[in-house]
Amino acid sequence: MSIVINLDVMMAKRKIGLTELSKEVDITMANLSILKNNKAKAVRFSTLNSICRALHCQPGDILEYVEDEETEEDTES
Protein backbone atom coordinates (compact mmCIF):
# COMPACT_ATOMS: atom_id res chain seq x y z
CA MET A 1 0.00 0.00 0.00
CA SER A 2 1.25 3.47 -0.82
CA ILE A 3 -0.04 5.24 2.30
CA VAL A 4 1.87 4.46 5.48
CA ILE A 5 0.44 5.30 8.88
CA ASN A 6 3.15 6.46 11.29
CA LEU A 7 0.91 6.56 14.34
CA ASP A 8 3.35 4.49 16.38
CA VAL A 9 6.11 7.02 15.68
CA MET A 10 3.98 9.97 16.82
CA MET A 11 2.82 8.08 19.89
CA ALA A 12 6.44 7.40 20.83
CA LYS A 13 7.40 11.05 20.25
CA ARG A 14 4.53 12.19 22.48
CA LYS A 15 5.17 9.41 25.02
CA ILE A 16 1.56 8.27 24.99
CA GLY A 17 0.40 4.67 25.14
CA LEU A 18 -2.34 2.89 23.25
CA THR A 19 -4.68 2.80 26.26
CA GLU A 20 -4.33 6.51 27.01
CA LEU A 21 -4.76 7.56 23.38
CA SER A 22 -7.72 5.21 22.99
CA LYS A 23 -9.50 6.92 25.88
CA GLU A 24 -8.61 10.42 24.73
CA VAL A 25 -9.71 9.83 21.12
CA ASP A 26 -12.71 7.68 22.10
CA ILE A 27 -11.84 4.83 19.74
CA THR A 28 -11.56 1.17 20.70
CA MET A 29 -8.10 -0.16 21.40
CA ALA A 30 -8.66 -2.77 18.68
CA ASN A 31 -9.37 -0.14 16.02
CA LEU A 32 -6.51 2.06 17.20
CA SER A 33 -4.21 -0.94 17.09
CA ILE A 34 -5.25 -1.61 13.48
CA LEU A 35 -4.24 1.97 12.63
CA LYS A 36 -1.04 1.78 14.65
CA ASN A 37 0.05 -1.46 12.97
CA ASN A 38 -0.61 -0.07 9.49
CA LYS A 39 -3.40 -2.60 8.79
CA ALA A 40 -6.19 -0.06 8.18
CA LYS A 41 -7.73 0.28 4.73
CA ALA A 42 -9.39 3.61 5.55
CA VAL A 43 -9.58 6.24 8.25
CA ARG A 44 -12.38 8.73 8.87
CA PHE A 45 -11.47 12.40 8.87
CA SER A 46 -13.18 12.74 12.25
CA THR A 47 -10.91 10.02 13.67
CA LEU A 48 -7.84 11.61 12.11
CA ASN A 49 -8.92 14.97 13.51
CA SER A 50 -9.27 13.52 17.02
CA ILE A 51 -5.90 11.78 16.84
CA CYS A 52 -4.18 14.96 15.63
CA ARG A 53 -5.83 16.95 18.42
CA ALA A 54 -4.74 14.43 21.05
CA LEU A 55 -1.17 14.17 19.75
CA HIS A 56 -0.83 17.89 18.89
CA CYS A 57 0.30 17.11 15.36
CA GLN A 58 -0.64 17.52 11.71
CA PRO A 59 -2.16 14.78 9.51
CA GLY A 60 1.10 14.71 7.54
CA ASP A 61 2.91 13.71 10.73
CA ILE A 62 0.82 10.53 10.79
CA LEU A 63 0.16 9.79 7.10
CA GLU A 64 2.95 9.34 4.58
CA TYR A 65 2.87 8.52 0.87
CA VAL A 66 5.50 5.98 -0.18
CA GLU A 67 5.78 4.85 -3.78
CA ASP A 68 5.29 1.14 -4.27
CA GLU A 69 8.39 -0.63 -5.49
CA GLU A 70 7.80 -2.15 -8.89
CA THR A 71 8.78 -5.76 -9.23
CA GLU A 72 10.37 -7.14 -12.38
CA GLU A 73 7.11 -8.91 -13.16
CA ASP A 74 5.27 -5.55 -13.19
CA THR A 75 7.73 -3.93 -15.57
CA GLU A 76 7.80 -6.90 -17.96
CA SER A 77 4.02 -6.87 -18.56
* Domain-embedded: residue 74: no
Question: What distance in Å separates the CA atoms of residue 52 and residue 59, rounded to the nearest whole number?
Answer: 6
CATH of the domain at 21: 1.10.260.40
Provide the mean pLDDT of the chain: 90
pLDDT bracket for residue 58 (50, 70, 90)? very high
Q: What is the pLDDT of residue 69?
A: 76
Q: How many CA atoms lie within 13 A of 50 on its CB side?
A: 12
* Domain-embedded: residue 34: yes
pLDDT tens per residue across span 9-37: 999 999 999 999 999 999 999 999 999 99
- Whether 63 and 6 have beta carbons less than 8 Å apart is answered as yes
**pTM greater than 0.75:** yes
Per the structure, the count of domains in the chain is: 1
Question: What distance in Å separates the CA atoms of residue 71 and residue 23, rounded to the nearest whole number?
Answer: 42
* Domain-embedded: residue 77: no
